[in-house]
Amino acid sequence: MLLLPYLALCYYNQPYWDDYGNAVLARNLGWPAAVAHLYTNWTGRYTAALWLTGLNPLSYGWEAGVGLFAFGLFVVTGGVQALALRTLTRGHLSWRASWAWSGAWLLGQLYTMPSVNSGFYWFASTVTYQIAAVLLVLVPVAGLRAGQARAAGVRGGWYALAVVAALGVAGSNELALVLLLWLLLVLTAATWRRAASGGRYRWLSLLLISGAAGAVALLAPGNFARMAFAGKAESAGIGHVVGRAVAYMGMFVTTPINLTTLALAPVLVSGLGYRMRRWRPAGLHCPLPLGLGVVALGLFACFLLLSRTWPGYPAVRSLNFLWFWLLTGWLLALWAALPTTPGAPGRRWLASLRVPALAYALLLAAGGNQRAAWREWLETAPAFKQQNEARSRAIQAAQAQGQRTVEVTGLQNLTPHYLLVLGDPLSEDASSELNRAVAGWFQVDSLRVQQRHIEGVEVNFH
């Protein structure tokens, strides 16, 4: 029931400017040539480029497809998380319970992530970051499954899935690549230390494959062209970059909602954690400082990269991905540190806090994204979809009549709640990048809004 408004909003989802622009590229060049064009002229993110062109619903004239895609992304995210829970408990947690806890975990993300829109609704953002997060979970899960399988065919199938997922992560975005390499390096070192010969070569081979794929992505000519175009070809200096990374990471971790969630989440799941601690995979038991160090170093490496490549505080689409890493890693580090002996310290104390923590969490959720999701679904989304579709029909009619310069009505009587509706996606300025991308998809020369009645979408923030 709590997930219902988020799933319902998928029906009302609409494309944004870069969804149209990349579809135009695929239509004009064909998607294989479009991926090659992006690789040589704009970005080495080959996985994201494939999604943005060949697998983009707009490449086939299907605007409504972004809604179905968003719904599928919710289902796939929940399914991979359920598989992860089953794998981490070595099958002792039933599929029904795994799906239930995965749903709760998904709700926790929706309540606390910096931008639900960038995470699940904005197509270009989701295929670059959220799919990368799902694949980043799938790599170690499939790797663990390969180690647990007895039959050679099953073992090979899980390993092949881990390889495909790793290749997908490496080509999604640079943050995902950094965390993938760091995670696989840690897993390789841990299994090497335990002299687990099967595991050590499995993780090492995945690390080498990911490194090679990452080199293909990072050395793309498009990366250097994009950096030069954005004026980022030269670094401001290592001291400046490190200083900004420390400051931005501190700001991110100490955001009130992040601190609150990091405090509440372990209390809420402590019962499950204590019950399942005996079923942890071999090797997933380490001192808390070590586990937290792994999480913190991975996070800091990402902020270093962002400090070098982004002009200010990172956009929320990047922060969504980093928040997933931080929260997931924090809970896994705490779980890995739990002793296996009976009467673990703090268990009764945590149990006594569980009910008030749940009440507080529900109170926060009721006044945050959960309330906004219901309001957006019941009040704003239907009119948002209706007006966007009417605008599309008006542009198509004008184009059919031979008009090359088109003006459309701005979205009206809408109150954005910033889950699905961020504002009016078109500008009054026909020369804006947003308008030119949409105009290209509709095959007109110029497109503008006569007058905006609500604020526009700030693409650099989201």
Q: How far apart are CA 347 and CA 335, in angstroms?
A: 12
Residue 285 zone, left/alpha/beta (φ > 0; ψ -120 to 50; rest): beta
Q: How far apart are CA 233 and CA 223, in angstroms?
A: 10
Q: What does the pLDDT read at residue 340?
A: 77
SS3 content of the chain, % helix, strand, coil (to 5): 70, 0, 25
Between CA 296 and CA 305, with CA 301 as vertex, the angle to 5 degrees is: 145
Q: What is the DSSP code (8-state) at residue 456?
A: B
Q: How far apart are CA 80 and CA 135, in angstroms?
A: 9
The single residue listed with the structure tokens 């790797």 is 143
Q: How far apart are CA 21 and CA 127, in angstroms?
A: 15
Say if CB 217 and CB 44 are below 8 A apart: yes
pTM > 0.85: yes
Residues linked to residue 448 through DSSP beta bridges, in sequence order: 407
> What token pair was written down for 23?
């579809």
Indicate the domain borders of the chain. 4-366, 372-449
Mode of pairing for the β-strands spanning 405-408 and 446-449 = parallel
> What token pair was written down for 340?
């296996």
Q: What does the pLDDT read at residue 458?
A: 73
Q: What does the pLDDT read at residue 352?
A: 62
Say if CB 125 and CB 15 are below 8 A apart: no
One DSSP character per residue, 56-86 reads: -GGGGT-TTHHHHHHHHHHHHHHHHHHHHHH
One digit per residue, the tens of pLDDT, for the chain of length 462 reads 789 999 999 999 999 989 999 999 999 999 999 999 999 999 999 999 999 999 999 999 999 999 999 999 999 999 999 999 999 999 999 999 999 999 999 999 999 999 999 999 999 999 999 999 999 999 999 999 998 888 989 999 999 999 999 999 999 999 999 999 999 999 999 888 775 556 778 999 999 999 999 999 999 999 988 888 777 656 667 888 999 999 999 999 999 999 989 988 888 888 888 888 888 887 788 899 999 999 999 999 999 999 988 878 999 999 999 999 999 999 999 999 988 776 556 666 566 666 666 676 776 677 788 889 999 999 999 999 999 999 999 999 999 999 999 999 999 999 998 899 999 999 999 999 889 999 999 999 999 999 888 888 776 655
One DSSP character per residue, 225-237 reads: HHHHHTT-SS---
Q: What does the pLDDT read at residue 235?
A: 66
Q: How far apart are CA 145 and CA 158, in angstroms?
A: 6
Question: How many beta carbons lie within 10 A of that of residue 33, not counting itself?
Answer: 13
> What token pair was written down for 305?
């990269």
